[in-house]
Structure 1
Amino acid sequence: MAVLSPEDIEQFLDQGYVRLRGCFTRAAAEEHTRLIWDRLGYVADDPSTWELPSVHMPPHQRIDVRTFAPKAWLAACELVGGAERVSTEKPYTWTDGFIVNLWQDADRPWRPPSNESPGWHVDGNFFRHFLDSPEQGLLTIALWSDVDHQGGATYIATDSAGPVARFLAAHPGGLLPGPDPDDDTPVIPYADLGRQCTDFVEATGEVGDVYLVHPFVLHAKSQNVLRRPRLITNPPLTLAEPMRFDRPDPADHSPVERVVLRALGVDSYAFTPTRPRAHIVSEMSKNHERMRAEERRRLARTSPPA
């Protein structure tokens, strides 16, 4: 059953994202997020306890998207070319690794997104990036709270997939998501790529909305001048195999692959990495181990005895 309309697919091809409304209920979101404040050690209705402006929380639990948000699952499969192209070794699951924006830059005047906004990036701090990388076949932005204008919505640079794709194609040896003193692979120049962009949106919406975003689309954290807690997750979808841009039947190219072909201005493109794929243990991953232990200690103190 198709979830996405032809107009949705065309928007994805043109702007690198599609928004799905009402993928899960408010009640389901409340159940999934009920331990957030205990985990943070903050008081929900007392902003004076909100020590950090934003927190990227570690995951503890995973949920099956197929049953929890079937609309999002089906749409994601359409965008990557079918369920058979989704990894079974690393299934598409969502976690409780919430990205909480409480008051990011709330003390500064509101600035709309622009090509000079700080923090443009593509996700995937755990692998060496190639044009065909399977590790991040699709980015998800799931809204676990209402997200309003000026309330910490993720910025999306809707014309960024082209510059990113062309840069990756020009570097078949791969690129790193950040500096590594032990690896001479060049680093993705996010700021330079962001300056090539001119069209931006805020990923606003209601609880249960989901944005499915091309893996090469630049996005960034934004200000939360409203000081209303904004809760999202951004789990990756891992592909079973690397993307392919020279399929014998062009109709077999997924929308994700078609975005790349459009960016390169070709109908077919043979790509072969010239260096091995590599897993990276990111600083965030290391920090999450520490944070996870701290959260478990907090939960043990707040949970009633059995």
Structure 2
Amino acid sequence: MSEVLNKKEIAQFVHSGFVRIENAFSQEIADAVLAILWNDLPCNRSEPSTWTEPVIRLGMYSQQPFVDSLNSTKLHLIFDQLIGEDKWIPCRRVGTFPVRFPSVEQPNDTGKHVDASFPGKEPDNYLTWRINLRSKGRALLMLVLYSDVSEKDAPTVIYDGSHMDVARILATEGDAGLSFMELAVKLDDLPKRKEVYATGKAGTIYLCHPFIVHSAQPHRGTTPKFMAQPPLLLKDQLSISGAANGYTPVEQAIRLSLE
């Protein structure tokens, strides 16, 4: 298997919970995505006076530019490195998009959280979705930048190493795990972690461990921020014990946290 990530990058993913991939897709693909998204927004791209909301959410998209952005040979090789060959499902839809606009208003979605991965008792209510120690259904969280994002442009805050804290919480919760909200209320009590801002040029992707704690923040820049945070789906569940052929980096991180 060809390898894209070097040993240092793999170690960063295991210990910090994320790795940054630059030039994961082209500016041309990013521009095509933005054209579609702007067409669906209830405001005018060239008139900032129409940008009256701090955040507008758009849904899932399956047009070719979206699919192409997450299905390059380079990315597929990295997925194999982090998760293992034939253990993940290629992305055929991308979303949702929390489009963030410059605003003095405080958005209502800036709390720390971990993205859940499988349905709970109310499949249509994401707050009841769940996450367990073997990350049923989710291989990675991906923070995909379709516009340039500076520190002023509401970059997502990644809490370095927080995936290990979350693994320790989930270790006592069995196969059912915790719901999105049950886990969210525990996050402020976790050890303080270094804050890393998910900045970069359009085409940058942060590949994150599925347990990483992250949060949104207000936009204090001048240009709307376009980012998607889709899951990379897992065919089954991760292995954290009894594996005959060793453990992948995403599994190694969980095992390390439980030592």
TM-score (normalised: structure 1): 0.73
Quickly say closer, same or farther: Cα 1:158–1:190, change in 2 above 3 A: farther
Which of 109, 128, 131 lines up with 1:129 in the alignment?
Answer: 131
- The match for 1:260 is 254
* Equivalent-residue separation in structure 1 for 2:151 and 2:69 (angstroms): 30
* Equivalent-residue separation in structure 2 for 1:143 and 1:48 (angstroms): 24
Do the aligned partners of 1:16 and 1:159 also contact (CA within 8 Å) in 2?
Answer: yes
* Within-5 A mapping of 1:114-263: 118-124=110-116, 125=126, 127-172=129-174, 173-178=176-181, 187-190=182-185, 192-193=187-188, 195-249=190-244, 252-263=246-257
Letter in 2 for 1:103: P
* Equivalent-residue separation in structure 1 for 2:15 and 2:201 (angstroms): 24
- The match for 1:46 is 47
Do the aligned partners of 1:15 and 1:159 also contact (CA within 8 Å) in 2?
Answer: yes
User: What is the aligned-residue identity percentage?
Assistant: 28
- The match for 2:121 is none
Shift of 1:127: 3.1
Larger radius of gyration: 1
* Equivalent-residue separation in structure 2 for 1:40 and 1:66 (angstroms): 21
Q: Return 5+ residue gaps in structure 1 as ranges.
A: 109-116, 179-186, 266-306
Greater shift after overlay, 189-198 or 94-103? Answer: 189-198
Do the aligned partners of 2:165 and 2:190 also contact (CA within 8 Å) in 1?
Answer: no
* Equivalent-residue separation in structure 2 for 1:25 and 1:138 (angstroms): 22
Three-state SS of the structure 1 residue aligned to 2:74 is helix
Shift of 1:103: 2.3
Question: What is the number of residues matched between the two proteins?
Answer: 243
* Within-5 A mapping of 1:278-297: none
- The match for 1:95 is 94
Letter in 1 for 2:252: R
Greater shift after overlay, 203-212 or 31-40? Answer: 31-40
RMSD: 2.2
- The match for 2:120 is none
Quickly say closer, same or farther: Cα 1:191–1:40, change in 2 above 3 A: farther
* Equivalent-residue separation in structure 1 for 2:136 and 2:191 (angstroms): 25
Do the aligned partners of 2:29 and 2:68 also contact (CA within 8 Å) in 1?
Answer: no
Quickly say closer, same or farther: Cα 1:153–1:247, change in 2 above 3 A: same
- The match for 1:3 is 4
Quickly say closer, same or farther: Cα 1:65–1:261, change in 2 above 3 A: farther
Shift of 1:45: 2.0
Three-state SS of the structure 2 residue aligned to 1:34 is helix
- The match for 2:76 is 73
Letter in 2 for 1:9: I
Q: Return 5+ residue gaps in structure 2 as ranges.
A: 117-125
Shift of 1:209: 0.8
Shift of 1:67: 7.6
Do the aligned partners of 2:70 and 2:91 also contact (CA within 8 Å) in 1?
Answer: no
Quickly say closer, same or farther: Cα 1:45–1:65, change in 2 above 3 A: closer
Do the aligned partners of 1:65 and 1:73 also contact (CA within 8 Å) in 2?
Answer: no
Shift of 1:94: 4.4
TM-score (normalised: structure 2): 0.86
